[in-house]
Amino acid sequence: MKAENTTKIQFDSLSINEAYARSVVAAFLARYDPTVPQLADLKTAVSEAVTNCIVHAYPDRIGPVTLCVAVYPEREVHITVTDKGVGIPDVPQAMEPLFTTGNPEERSGLGFAVMQSFMDRVKVTSRPGKGTKVVLIKRLSVRAST
């Protein structure tokens, strides 16, 4: 299946860029007229994915984060967040609610659970030492005519 429209950006893994990533997604998808709840869901999931890169992928340095947004037929949105960081040794374990590799006093371990609750599907692939790719998938409903 070929995307009807795409965009791609890259930014440093700085916490100030998390809001930028959310804004880019919202601006790009505005022409598809998502509902306010759909847009909030997408922005929340992107926020979690980007924050994971900032906190976990590059714990001791700043590195690149790539965000791609693609819209496929029938308004299916794929948002891909990729890093070249430390990677995740056990993806199924990392996706369990409350699991964190960060300081448990600062991190809840709910990032992937939050992403899954707001998206139709979440796919995670990772290679230790090579990085991680998170694909967030959500089909936008068509607004009812008034």
> Annotated active-site positions, please?
48, 52, 107
Q: Which amino acid is at 2?
A: K
**Distance between CA atoms of 143 and 146, rounded to whole angstroms?**
9
**Distance between CA atoms of 7 and 56, rounded to whole angstroms?**
25
CA distances from 97 to 58, 114, 123, 131 (A): 21, 9, 16, 21
